[in-house]
Amino acid sequence: MAELPAWMVLLSPLPPDAVPERKFVATAEQIANGTDGPIAGWENLTVHLSLPGVGLRHVLIVLDGAGRVIAGGDHVMVAREEMRDGVEYTISDHENIGGRFEEDGSFRGTRWKTHTAGPADSDEPGATESTPSTPTDEEVAALRRVVADVMSRDADRRSR
C-alpha cells in the first residue's frame, strides 16, 4: 500500500485547504421532518477529508449555544484489500479519539483502535477487534491543537 499523506494520521495537522462546515445540531425528529432549528443553539463544525478507495478523516467539534467548544473528536479510517490464503479480504483500520471538554479545562473521553477484516465477496461484516484506552495527556493536547485549528479556520471563513 502506498504511503498515506501526513494528514491521514490521527491528531496530525490538517492540510492547508481543509475547510470546516458549520451546521446546527438537530434532533432525529427534526431531521426526519425537515424542520429547522438547533437544539439549545448548539452547532457543530466538521472537517471531512477523503482519499477515494483508501480512507477518510473526520474531525467533529460541538459548540454550545454560546459558541464554547464542549466536545471534539478526530476519526481516521483506512481501508485496503489484501490476499490471505488465496482469498481476497477487505481490511479497515479505525483510530479515533473523542470526548467532552469540561468547564474546568479537563477532558473526559476515550481513544479507540478498531480493526475489521473479512472476505471481500461476503455480505457479512468481518471480524472486528476494538480496543478502548484512556487518552494520554499528549493525545489530549494534540486534539486541542486540532480543535483550535478548526476554530481558527472557521473564524477566518466567517470573517470574509
Residue 50 in grid coordinates:
477523503
pLDDT of residue 105: 92
Q: How far apart are CA 5 and CA 16, in angstroms?
A: 13
Q: How far apart are CA 85 and CA 89, in angstroms?
A: 10
pLDDT of residue 157: 87
Tens digit of pLDDT for each residue in 48-74? Answer: 999 888 899 999 999 998 999 999 999
Residue 1 in grid coordinates:
500500500
Residue 103 in grid coordinates:
468547564
pLDDT of residue 9: 93
pLDDT of residue 50: 93
H-type alpha helices, 9-136: 28-33
pLDDT of residue 23: 87
Sheet holding 107-119, edge to edge: 21-24, 43-51, 55-63, 69-84, 87-101, 107-119, 127-133
Instruction: Calculate the dihedral angle through the C-alpha atoms of 123, 49, 11, 65, rounding to the nearest 10 degrees.
Output: -100
pLDDT of residue 145: 98
pLDDT of residue 36: 65
Q: How far apart are CA 19 and CA 43, in angstroms?
A: 16
With beta carbons less than 8 A apart as the criterion, state whether 25 and 62 touch: yes
Q: How far apart are CA 115 and CA 67, in angstroms?
A: 35
Query: Which parts of the chain register pLDDT below 50?
Result: none
pLDDT of residue 80: 86
